[in-house]
Structure 1
Amino acid sequence: MKTLFKTVAVMTCLQASVAVFSQEKTTQDTVKVNRIDEVLVSAVRAKEKSPITFTNVSKEEIAPRNLGQDIPVLLNYLPSVVTTTDAGAGIGYTYMRVRGADGSRINVTLNGVPFNDSESQGTFFVNLPDFASSLESAQLQRGVGTSTNGAGAFGASLNLQTKSFQEKAYAEIANAVGSFNSRKHTLAFGTGLHDNFEINARLSNIHSDGYIDRASSDLFGYFFNANYISEKTTIKAIVFGGKEKTYQAWYGIEDLDKLKNDRTFNAAGMYFDANGEMHFYDNETDNYTQNHFQLHWNQKIASHWQTNTALHYTIGKGYFEQYKEDQSFADYYLSDFEGNTTTDLVRKRWLDNDFFGATFNMNYHKDKTDVIFGGAANRYLGKHFGEVVWTQYYLPENNRYYNNIGNKDDVNFFAKASQGVGKFSFFADLQYRMVFYQANSVKFDEVNDTFRFFNPKAGMTYQLNPKHSFYIYAGIANKEPRRDDYENGSSKPERLYDGELGWKYASEKLNVSANSFYMLYKNQLVMTGALNDVGSPIFTNSGDSYRFGLEAEATVKITDKVLVRPNVTVSQNKNVDFYFQRDGVLQNLGNTNIAFSPNVVAANALVFVPVKNLNLALLSKYVGKQYMGNIDSEKSVLKAYTVSDFNVNYEWSINKGIKSIVFSGLVNNILNEEYESNGYFYTYDDDWSNPGSVTTLEGAGYFPQAGINFLIGATLRF
């Protein structure tokens, strides 16, 4: 059975049972790897007996589908996860929501270091191309979870741990090609452990034309780490990053006829010449480079005590370029030209930022007692500026038309403790967090705000017998507003009260976990459904709101060669007494559905292992009906959809110069479903000049996803 579970883990992108994988980890090399990983993530990850709702994912689970698509797409089949992509095929800008919470509300850490952008609080994995190839493991916590660094988790936390050391030297060459001229090339190697030192490195290049017109991606990524490992000391120096150039595809399709007959249409870069003919600007692109530097030092200072300290620095700089028609010279502080007050122009909007700081913790562990003290201090320095690089009449000399800042300090301290008493394990987690934000913008005057948050969490696990365990959890999280929220007039902090009640069952042929959750929000910033001028969602404070639901997942061994892994989430997601100004009158719409929060999300993996080293998997995902706004308008409905993928993986063992060759194939959307996984919804009033006759009109846009498409690849292992 162990062999089957290990093989299945390699095949699926779904969660692994912690119990199953712990049975496999018996070699000296794996024990060392586990020890190092546990040290580096102990401050932010939930442990097996923690009363936290979480899923662990190993690098072996990610590998079969790692053919160029980004991390959110690779995690698509986890419980309560919904993913989408601008270009429609999983390469480029990709996003995920968990329990209806978007990426700016999912706390993401890389080796315990915050990854979310400090101001937008979003996560842009496009800046780290092929990062999945350098992952050791991931943990997705749903709900408030345990205290972590960075912004508060308002739906989930994703903790990513990069590749640990390998005791033996290795080298890999991986290549993949597929639909839409997609291709991925990866070179990776490791020196193996010699005199306590070891080095890993990776270089990657990814390209795709995208399913959507012109939605191309050109991505370069790299990863390097050097490890020193001794009996009491572990030091890891890690450098990674990437460079991306993607053609913009954030406008979607508003025309329903085009959605039906021209699903790949992309309005980005569109303009009309003097004869009224339509053209597209060639360089309507997003360009960004991001480099990360991390130094982790773990020290065992006594038999039951150890410390972990990390220094980090992230530098990012880039811009997006746009062709804009009929722009006022005055809006860009430019001179009129021969009586012309407007012009077509090309502008670049820049972001230049630095993020640096330190994280630290001290851990005491003995028998059934585990205590961690720690915290972090981080600083973000952001520069926002815009330039006009061309007009139809002249090239401007002094072309910078705005110059703003966004600086943020983030300090937190926490204490976590778990104590086993007989069949019970008690958990407590207290965090105090301070945020200092100073910014200005073309849309708001100078902001100088301070936030102080206290985030307590507590829970209990009861191990009834070796097969059955139960847990209960309660936690509070607070969250500061984003830069965009200030620009949209919503600057209140948010609060979330989260309660979780769960049950786990584990036997030889069946593993089941089920939990209920109730998440009560105060001043939750919910997506209105509309987008701003750069394609980002606009949020508004909804007052009181809640998410209540049930999650269940299972691993069922049908035979020695067939395994099934289903999961399902059923929930209600409501704004309480939601107010909206319709037809010029402020109305109480009562309880409405929270935008982008489907009531049903389900997934399944059917895995078949016909012969040794050959693995087949049919992966299916169902996402229920969603409203793209908060007023329950039928025009804001995003229809339910079901998508199935087929994954095949075969390892040919050679052991003559080449250790093995791994062949992988992935057919996405095998039933060629026409569906839209994302969109936007907006309202506007037709006549402000006559308040007595105002009519509120509605509009919507959609992001079509690709029909049937494929990726195939081969990895040579030395």
Structure 2
Amino acid sequence: MLKYLSTVFLILGISGAALAQSAIRGTVTELGSGEPIIGANLILMGTAQGNATDLNGDYVIRGVEPGTYTIRVSSVGYITVTEEITVGSSDLELDFELELTSASLTSLEVFASRSDLTTPVAFSDVDQEAIQAQLGSRNLPEVLNITPSVYSTGQGGGSGDARINVRGFSQRNVAVMINGVPVNDMENGWVYWSNWSGVGDAARSIQVQRGISNVNLAVPSVGGTLNIITDPSQNEAGGSIKFETGSGAMNKKTLQLNSGLVNDKWAFSFVGVRKEGEGIVEGTWADEWAYHFAASYQLNESNRFDLFALGAPQRHGQNLYAMNTATYDRDYALSLDGYDAAAADIHWEKGRFFNANVSGVSNTYDGNQYVGDGWVSASIQNRQNKDFLNERENFFHKPQVNLNWFSELSDKLTLTNVLYYSGGRGGGTGTLGDIEWDYSHNQRVADWDATIADNDPNGESNGILRNSRNNQWTIGDILKLSYQATENFELQAGLDWRTAEIEHYREVRDLLGGRYYVETRDPFNPNYRAGLGDVVNYNYTNTVDWYGGYVQGEYVGDKYSVYATGGISSIKYSHENFFIAENGSPLTRESDNIAGYQLKGGGLYNVTENTGIYLNVGHISKVPIFDNVISDFNGAINEDPENEKFYFYEAGVRYRAPGGQFGFNANYYLTDRRDRSFTRGVQQPNGDEGLINISGIDQMHSGVEVETSYKPNNWIRLDISGSYNLWEYQNDVSATYLEDQGDPGSAQNIDLYIKDLKVGNAPQAQLAYILGMQPSNNFDIQLVGTSFYRHWSDFDPISRDDPSDRAQTWQAPNYTVFNLHLNYTLDSILEGTNLFLNVFNLLDETYIQDATDNSRFNGYDGDHDADDAEVFLGLPRRYNFGIRVNF
């Protein structure tokens, strides 16, 4: 097959007797093999009319009036062709033979373990057209709220500060993979979306695999897996340039270039992005770059190499402190059930765009800052703005480079290998030492001028701004061998190796009027005078070594398909602390190898040509994260860390109407989570940081998910999806609370009473509805609505130490938000040019998107109702519009 992959062409055959009534019938097959292409699209007059949803590549479009039309045939991984056809009064028979556009995309599908209609798992695809139409320069996860049991918010509104929750699990337990490579943090599983701000501009598709998924790597796919594939190098020369502007003084420019196929061997593509803005919320300015480079080389008929490099050097102001609702909007707060009017009197209204992490400073203050530039290193610079200082800022650059090798060793044996590197330099900012705080109106905001006045201009600074640095590198390799034992049975085996080193330290960012800061925690250099860029407070280096392997078998027949996967993994951690002395040297700790495993499998049976049912089960023994094995702060090591256990059960049904006008997917799932452990930093009201370690938590997550699609004619389509879930804690637990992270003797045991509380931080019921209309060949309208219900707030477990307090956490009010997306093609005026407009929160709804119960900082009387919660409001109505020119 590979001998065809370097050549891009299409043979289109049209045959059949003339003149019958308005139906188009045909098949879509692969050139050279005659094999059907599953999931191809037939597009008539610019509107999708039918899909090859059965298993033999057939499609039919009914009710087409006689006339001349533009027809387009496409499928993921194949060239898209546009052709003019004439439909008479009789059926028109079409036979399409499509050639692969790029072997790069084919190999990426293999690397990424993507699901299709033969895979017995719940998944949703968001294609490139939907991403381009709906994303509108938002954080990439925010386009995924249209899928069941998926909840994403921008939290405080900072660029790249999004988070995502799938089936009630935070992104620590959601595997995020880009071109088949996991990008979750090696220490704790978190994903920082500001590191991938350019991926949305280069993404070809995103597949959300909910639950255990069929990904065979040992990755944290408990809630689900986000499987992102970016554009490979293209075989057609050309490109595009896009200009965007929007709310918050946002300006963005995107350039895409494709070399086309050079000498039937080489192809290159490049995407570059520049984004700047003041931000909608106070102080959430953004200064970002992003790049994506892809190259491919066809060595011979059996071997191909692909190179990907992407990254997003950036700086942005953050809003990390949620507030009492009345701080943002007094009238809205008083409209909430249970909100005491007296609470509004102590939480003075400061407006919807208030940010407690930014405050004014005299423009006569001319102190420099040691600032991360987002590219390689930090340097001494002027501050971002002369009139204010950000307490919280993020700066980081995390490039990722993949070298993929795709090889056909024989007709039956295929090898894929990806060698990858991911580096990262940067961190976030905060305060250190004695800062003067303004507690007016019950909110803590830094008083920079008072702090500067309190510091000695000729000597010591009592309080400073610091950078918390996280410099890291990861090298890994993923090797897969696939053996096509028979026409229906494939056997696959793979190895996964990763190693990482992460430096953690704090450094002086801004002396706030003084000349130096006295560092007292370094035993090797006591009481030294630290200047800009000098290390303070803590300094340690962690390493993570990972090994994994798996075996998977898959059988795909005419009526049914089954798969089974077994995998093992081993992880080892080490810690070297340069601020703790042990026998005259920095303290070192090393864990044993900790083993984990996964077992999963499932089957799908096609009851009829259009209806299939499936079942999958699984069990994961997940290795603990770094913090549950070694303490970063005192070197304490857990000699017997316990793995978390997950048990998965899922059943579903898929249906596609014979004419393609209607289809639906429905499934039920149950995820039993046992022995959950986590460590969480706790900030005291005085600003000191404590640490809580909780273990032995059991949770139950279950729910029903549905997706439907209806297309009554060639210019309108309605998609509706929804989910109804039940997520609860199953038991009470004990915790260890370390009040002073530098003093192991401050630890105390606490019993926490959380049984039967709802798992919060995401709505447990939701609906999404997309109305797509195409009134003309060059005008596309999409109205997207999302409704969220049964949203119990998150809570701090340490607040649940009273056995008499069994009250449920506060439930945030239900809300619905509409977004409008317009796209107009100017082909009749300027070929290859599109105008687009996105209006988010079209009706300007005020709603709570994130909430924490019984806030220690912003609560009123501690009885788990509206006046005790701290929240982030959703952003008000805002817009994004621009022009894209293709060439």
Q: TM-score, normalised to structure 1's length?
A: 0.87
Q: In the superposition, relative to structure 1, how do residues 47 and 536 fare at CA in structure 2: closer, same or farther (>3 Å)?
A: farther
Q: What secondary structure, in the 3-state scheme, does the structure 1 residue paired with 2:324 have?
A: coil
Q: CA deviation at 1:145?
A: 1.2
**What whole-Å deviation, never above 9, does each CA across 1:404-423 have from its counterpart, x for those lacking one?**
11210111111111113552
Alignment match, 1:379: 499
Take 1:561 and 1:21, find their aligned partners in 2: how far apart are those partners? 23
Is 1:599 paired with 2:774? Answer: no
Q: In the superposition, relative to structure 1, how do residues 290 and 456 fare at CA in structure 2: closer, same or farther (>3 Å)?
A: same
Amino acid at match of 1:170: G
Is 1:218 paired with 2:339? Answer: no
Alignment match, 2:131: 62
Take 2:103 and 2:545, find their aligned partners in 1: how far apart are those partners? 32
Alignment match, 2:568: 432
Alignment match, 2:150: 81
**Counterpart selection for 1:102 from 150, 162, 170:** 170
Q: CA deviation at 1:312?
A: 0.6
**Counterpart selection for 2:832 from 660, 663, 669:** 660
Is 1:167 paired with 2:220? Answer: no
**Counterpart selection for 2:426 from 310, 318, 333:** 318
Take 2:232 and 2:480, find their aligned partners in 1: how far apart are those partners? 20
For structure 1, which segment, 319-328 or 535-544, has the greater mean C-alpha deviation from structure 2 after superposition?
Answer: 535-544
Q: What secondary structure, in the 3-state scheme, does the structure 2 residue paired with 1:29 have?
A: strand
**Counterpart selection for 1:243 from 313, 319, 324:** 313
Q: Contact (CA 8 Å) 1:596, 1:629: kept in 2 or not?
A: yes
Take 2:58 and 2:294, find their aligned partners in 1: how far apart are those partners? 26
**What whole-Å deviation, never above 9, does each CA across 1:246-300 have from its counterpart, x for those lacking one?**
1121112236334434121111144899xxxxx9524742111121111001011
- Aligned positions of 1:466-485 closer than 5 A: 466-483=609-626
Q: CA deviation at 1:621?
A: 0.7
Q: Contact (CA 8 Å) 2:198, 2:292: kept in 1 or not?
A: no
Is 1:552 paired with 2:687? Answer: no
For structure 1, which segment, 532-541 or 706-715, has the greater mean C-alpha deviation from structure 2 after superposition?
Answer: 532-541
For structure 1, which segment, 596-605 or 499-508, has the greater mean C-alpha deviation from structure 2 after superposition?
Answer: 596-605
Alignment match, 1:702: 871
Any unmatched runs of 5+ in structure 1? Answer: 274-278, 329-335, 686-693
Q: CA deviation at 1:600?
A: 0.4
Amino acid at match of 1:394: R
Alignment match, 2:719: 565
Take 1:419 and 1:173, find their aligned partners in 2: how far apart are those partners? 45
User: Computing the radius of gyration over CA atoms, which structure comes out larger, 1 or 2?
Assistant: 2
For structure 1, which segment, 439-448 or 643-652, has the greater mean C-alpha deviation from structure 2 after superposition?
Answer: 439-448
Alignment match, 1:29: 79
**Counterpart selection for 1:264 from 303, 328, 353:** 353
**What whole-Å deviation, never above 9, does each CA across 1:680-707 have from its counterpart, x for those lacking one?**
346669xxxxxxxx99999532112211
Q: Contact (CA 8 Å) 1:528, 1:629: kept in 2 or not?
A: no
Q: CA deviation at 1:555?
A: 0.8
Is 1:363 paired with 2:482? Answer: yes
**What whole-Å deviation, never above 9, does each CA across 1:572-605 have from its counterpart, x for those lacking one?**
1011133489xx9946554221122422021110
Alignment match, 2:539: 403
Q: In the superposition, relative to structure 1, how do residues 526 and 51 fare at CA in structure 2: closer, same or farther (>3 Å)?
A: farther
For structure 1, which segment, 351-360 or 627-636, has the greater mean C-alpha deviation from structure 2 after superposition?
Answer: 627-636
Q: What secondary structure, in the 3-state scheme, does the structure 1 residue paired with 2:157 have?
A: coil
Q: What secondary structure, in the 3-state scheme, does the structure 2 residue paired with 1:157 have?
A: strand
Q: What secondary structure, in the 3-state scheme, does the structure 1 residue paired with 2:219 have?
A: coil
Q: In the superposition, relative to structure 1, how do residues 438 and 150 fare at CA in structure 2: closer, same or farther (>3 Å)?
A: farther
Q: CA deviation at 1:394?
A: 2.5
Take 2:646 and 2:280, find their aligned partners in 1: how far apart are those partners? 38
Alignment match, 2:393: 285
Identity %: 19
Take 2:540 and 2:191, find their aligned partners in 1: how far apart are those partners? 22
Alignment match, 2:728: 574
**Counterpart selection for 2:674 from 500, 512, 522:** 522
- Aligned positions of 1:438-453 closer than 5 A: 438-439=574-575, 446=589, 448-453=591-596
Is 1:423 paired with 2:563? Answer: no
Is 1:498 paired with 2:648? Answer: yes
**What whole-Å deviation, never above 9, does each CA across 1:191-249 have from its counterpart, x for those lacking one?**
11122210000110112322211111211000111111353222101111111101121
Take 1:42 and 1:55, find their aligned partners in 2: how far apart are those partners? 18
Amino acid at match of 2:467: K
- Aligned positions of 1:176-195 closer than 5 A: 176-195=244-263
RMSD between aligned alpha carbons?
3.7
Q: In the superposition, relative to structure 1, how do residues 87 and 619 fare at CA in structure 2: closer, same or farther (>3 Å)?
A: same
Amino acid at match of 1:715: R
Q: In the superposition, relative to structure 1, how do residues 404 and 60 fare at CA in structure 2: closer, same or farther (>3 Å)?
A: same
Take 1:476 and 1:288, find their aligned partners in 2: how far apart are those partners? 36
**Counterpart selection for 2:408 from 300, 307, 318:** 300
Take 1:286 and 1:312, find their aligned partners in 2: how far apart are those partners? 25
Aligned length: 690
Q: In the superposition, relative to structure 1, how do residues 619 and 537 fare at CA in structure 2: closer, same or farther (>3 Å)?
A: farther
Take 1:105 and 1:699, find their aligned partners in 2: how far apart are those partners? 29
Q: CA deviation at 1:449?
A: 4.6
Q: CA deviation at 1:35?
A: 5.1
Q: In the superposition, relative to structure 1, how do residues 585 and 311 fare at CA in structure 2: closer, same or farther (>3 Å)?
A: closer
Take 2:323 and 2:120, find their aligned partners in 1: how far apart are those partners? 44
Q: What secondary structure, in the 3-state scheme, does the structure 1 residue paired with 2:470 have?
A: strand
- Aligned positions of 1:106-117 closer than 5 A: 106-117=174-185
Q: Contact (CA 8 Å) 2:851, 2:870: kept in 1 or not?
A: yes
Q: In the superposition, relative to structure 1, how do residues 308 and 268 fare at CA in structure 2: closer, same or farther (>3 Å)?
A: same
Take 1:362 and 1:17, find their aligned partners in 2: how far apart are those partners? 29
Q: In the superposition, relative to structure 1, how do residues 108 and 28 fare at CA in structure 2: closer, same or farther (>3 Å)?
A: closer
For structure 1, which segment, 190-199 or 119-128, has the greater mean C-alpha deviation from structure 2 after superposition?
Answer: 119-128
Query: Per chain length, whose mean CA-contact separation is higher, i.e. which structure has more relative contact order (CA < 8 Å, sep 6+)?
Result: 1
Q: Contact (CA 8 Å) 2:794, 2:851: kept in 1 or not?
A: no
Is 1:207 paired with 2:381? Answer: no
Take 2:787 and 2:691, find their aligned partners in 1: how far apart are those partners? 24
Q: Contact (CA 8 Å) 1:269, 1:323: kept in 2 or not?
A: no
